Structure 1
Amino acid sequence: MTKEVTDATFDAEVLQSDKPVLVDFWAPWCGPCRMVSPIVDEIGEEQAEKLTVVKVNTDENMETAAKYGITSIPALYVFQDGEVAKTIIGARPKPALLQELAEFTS
């Protein structure tokens, strides 16, 4: 199960992580978010040794969403060493997502 991260836990869980973190910014009302969510969960399980995967509900964690300028969801951000290393906006099929994430998982 992919971990939910909040405004309160974002720094500790994401910015201070010693490995890359894929953050799925989503909201319950977002159809494409619901489509991409199981794919993100699968990638999280399959790549657990190399990549941490977490989710941020933008409705409940507006501070974090605003801080990173999240205006379109789903938005997948990869954080590495406390910085945004990659941004993927919009739903993608699993092969495309894996290709986008290859630099962090290979």
Structure 2
Amino acid sequence: MALELNAANFEAEVLKSDIPVLVDFWAAWCGPCRAIAPVVEQLSTEYAGKVKVGKVNVDENRELAQQFGVMSIPTLIFLKNGEKVDQVIGFTGKADLEKKLNAIL
């Protein structure tokens, strides 16, 4: 299950993570965010122990969204060693997300 990320736990869970992290920036009112949510949950289960998967509600964590330059949602950001290595904006299929995850493992 994807972690709920916020300003309080973001540094420890994401920036200091010893494994790659996929962060899903989303909002409850966003249709494409709801569409991609099951895919993100599947990836969090399938990549458990290899990739950490977290979600940031942009309405509750505007400062994190601004920090990463999130202008449209959903935005999925891939981080490794605390550094952004890739991102996807908008709904993206599971196969494409798996390719990106495998590339950073």
TM over 0.5: yes
Amino acid at match of 2:65: A
- TM-score relative to the length of structure 1: 0.94
Give the aligned CA root-mean-square deviation in angstroms.
Answer: 1.0
Aligned residue pairs: how many? 105
How big is the shift at 1:77? 0.4
Is 1:38 the counterpart of 2:38 in the alignment? yes
Q: Which runs of 4 or more aligned residues in structure 1 lie more than 4 Å from their structure 2 counterparts after TM superposition?
A: none
Q: Is the partner of 1:24 in helix, strand or coil?
A: strand
Runs of 5+ in structure 2 lacking a partner?
none
Q: Quick one: percent identity of the two aligned structures?
A: 48
> What TM-score does the superposition give when structure 2 sets the normalisation length?
0.95
Residue deviations 1:6-49, cap 9 Å, x none? 01111111000000000000000100000001101101100112
Structure 2: distance between partners of 1:94 and 1:82: 23
Q: Indicate whether 1:15 and 2:15 are aligned.
A: yes
- The equivalences for 1:6-85 within 5 A come to 6-85=6-85
